[in-house]
Amino acid sequence: MTTLTVDKLEPNMIVSEPVVTKRGQTIVKAGEKLTPQMIAKLTFYKIESATVEDIEEEAPVEEVPEPVQEETPEPKKTKPAQKEKKKEVDLAHPKETVKQSYTQIPYTQRLKASPTFQKFQSDYAINLAFLQKNFDDILAGATCSTDEMLKNCESLFKSKTTIELLNMLGNMRNLEDPVYSHSLNVGLISRVIGKWLKLPLEDVNLLTLAGLLHDIGKTQIPKEILNKPDKLTDEEFATMKTHTTLGKKVLNGKGFDPRILYAALQHHERCDGSGYPRGLEEDEIDDFACIVAIADVYDAMTSARAHRDPLCSFQVISEFEREGLHKFKTKYILTFLEHIANTYNNSRVMLNDAKTGRVVYINKSSLSRPVVQLDSGEIINLADSAYSNIFIKSIL
């Protein structure tokens, strides 16, 4: 076993002894393999060192000198004709060959390999640990610093465009603690929507907090229901729905702005009265709750589920267009969908028939069905009835 300072720890090292905070909370269990998120968590909790298993080094192979041979004329080597031909092709089109090999790498793989994503992943993990601590403090009746919560969230926005932020959030789905990762995502997406709506900075900050805390009631739901991979029974779903009232109850009396409490209570209400817990209609639902509801649904739809893969942004827009527009406040949902669609204008996409191309024009009357220029050069308008069976399956 070896004890290393946190800055010397590396992913895949195996922890020999439990890592515990000063309050006695176990951060990493013995025998667990370290991940970038775990290392970030240790940094957040100001853990100075951890004991890891020694890495067995392979014994060096003793080099045996080769017998000295008399020099003989080396026969002239002839390469197979097929290899010569391949080399000629590569040399004839070196740029095309490199470009083709790069574009064949999936976008997600390229993104995750980038230093920007790796830094974002580390900052995101620290934010998750901080958010969990905030939840714990609130549940224990202690005060939490909302200024610090906002400061941490803002760090994830630094030097990033909206498309970069959304793409990175879309690739953070394998993290533990789905309640906290979803809450963090909804806080960030709510902040984006607030900026798109040109709200005053004070309201944008308050909206961010409302998104971060909207699901705190889920901490009161039994884990066997919360983490159940299969479809919930009617009784289990009834229990799950209580997280809205439980959330307001947890936040009540802690000094939070009433709009944060309304977001926790009403983020599953719908403007047509089909939501819960009270079946409120449009004028009865708080504006912040309406915005957080949109961010909540968008993050849920772009997340992987046991029964389906995550939907791409154009598929989410299609779902909203098909059955969601009347459920959300018009000015909020249209602003959101238009900005999401325009965010991915000029992006490379794959259609459900496996053809690939680039989005060249967004149809305002049918945001999920833009004009696409295929790699073959053909331009197709997905809004035309001739392409009713064709849709964007993924963003490349």
Task: Give the pLDDT confidence of 339-370 residue by residue, as tens digits.
Answer: 999 989 999 999 999 999 999 999 999 999 99
* The predicted structure's pLDDT at residue 107: 61
Rounded Cα distance, 159 and 284, in Å: 38
CA nearest to 292, candidates 150, 165, 146, 190: 190
Yes or no: say if 328 and 290 are a contact pair by the CB < 8 Å rule. Answer: yes
The ranges assigned to domains in the chain are 2-52, 107-310, 348-395
* The predicted structure's pLDDT at residue 159: 64
The pair phi, psi for residue 386, each rounded to 5°, is -65, -20
Rounded Cα distance, 143 and 372, in Å: 52
* The predicted structure's pLDDT at residue 55: 64
* The predicted structure's pLDDT at residue 128: 87
For 356, the 3-state DSSP assignment is strand
215 Cβ neighbours under 8 A, 6+ residues apart: 179, 182, 183, 186, 243, 247, 264, 296
Residue 213's CB is within 10 A of a number of other CB atoms, namely 29
* The predicted structure's pLDDT at residue 265: 98
- Which residues of the chain are under the pLDDT cut of 50? 57-72, 75, 77-79, 81-103
Yes or no: say if 292 and 267 are a contact pair by the CB < 8 Å rule. Answer: yes
* The predicted structure's pLDDT at residue 38: 77
Whether the link from the prior residue into 258 is cis, omega within 30° of 0, is no
| Integer CA distances (angstroms), 328 to 102, 125, 182, 286, 368, in order | 41, 32, 20, 12, 17
CATH 3.90.105.10 for the 2-52 domain, yes or no? yes
Architecture of domain 107-310: Orthogonal Bundle (1.10)
* The predicted structure's pLDDT at residue 158: 76
Residue linked to tokens 């004028």: 283
pTM, two decimal places: 0.76
* The predicted structure's pLDDT at residue 174: 52
